[in-house]
Amino acid sequence: NAGVTQTPKFRILKIGQSMTLQCAQDMNHNYMYWYRQDPGMGLKLIYYSVGAGITDKGEVPNGYNVSRSTTEDFPLRLELAAPSQTSVYFCASSYSRLADSNQPQHFGDGTRLSIL
């Protein structure tokens, strides 16, 4: 049981390049989330999903795209990388609404992305 797995752990991109950050969970969780953490700041929600085919915007969605074709995977796509997207990206998942259980959001170890 690996929990939430994010790949890669570290990546450097040039301005204008594109890439996909991968997130996979093996806990059969319905809910998955993408956050970014800028230096010295708290996490901000980019996008989230409540199940396969259903996604919604968070606080800072501009410049990103997501899709959810399976329960296990929730990739985050950067189409035209910009220096402002330099950040650490965290993926998280949870089984159900927190109101229905004591399950918290489980976080991955993060991907450090630098755009130069």
* DSSP secondary structure letters along 78-109: ESS--GGG-EEEEEEEESS-GGGSS--PEE--
| Residues of span 71-90 touching other proteins by CB under 8 A | 88, 90
Residue 71's nearest CA partner among 26, 35, 106 is 26
| Residues of span 24-43 touching other proteins by CB under 8 A | 31, 33, 35, 40-43
Among 27, 58, 63, 71, binds other proteins (CB under 8 A): 58
CA 74/CA 84 separation, integer angstroms = 22
| Contact residues: other proteins, CB under 8 A | 31, 33, 35, 40-45, 48, 50-51, 54, 56, 58-59, 88, 90, 92, 94, 96-100, 104-105, 107, 109-110
